[in-house]
Amino acid sequence: MTIFRFDPRKLTHRLVLVPVFAVLAAAGGCESDDASEDAITVPSGREITLIEIVTDTRGPEGAVARFRFLAPGLTEDEVPQASKDMEALCNSFALPRIDGFVPQPQQIIVSLSAEAVPFGEAAPDVVQFFEAYDIGDGTCIWAAF
């Protein structure tokens, strides 16, 4: 048999957390399923669209913002172009959008995928590239995984 005891300190703690979670949800501090239909042009000339922004993961340095992009037709032979595109996406697209994220991201991860793959699922038949960037002096700095 389990006995639950009323503790007013816990109730107060929960009441304080409710507005905090409301602010986080309003600020987009969890996960965004809103994919943008607007094409983003990158240095390679490829038109890329945003799949989603995921901010509920943690990296070795703290909060991480993952910007996942769809790049139809992406092939394994495009590593040099994809690397330049991901750096451009980090600096011109992701970096301006992390202001106000709670907690403030310490790292941005940019991914390109030939097909939309649900976050965290393996898809060995789909070409995907990932790059991690630290944030310093208002710019994205490539960071080795």
Q: What would the pLDDT profile of 54-95 be if each residue is shown by its tens digit?
A: 998 777 778 999 999 999 999 999 999 999 999 999 999 999
Does 61 fall in a domain? yes
Does 7 fall in a domain? no
- Classified as helix, coil or strand, 26 is helix
Q: In the chain, how many domains are there? A: 1
Task: Look at the alpha carbons of 27, 30, 33, 37 in this order and tell me if their dihedral is positive or negative.
Answer: positive
* Distance from C-alpha of 117 to C-alpha of 136, rounded to nearest angstrom: 30
pTM, rounded to two decimals? 0.73
Does 21 fall in a domain? no
Domain that holds residue 69: 30-143
Does 36 fall in a domain? yes
Does 3 fall in a domain? no
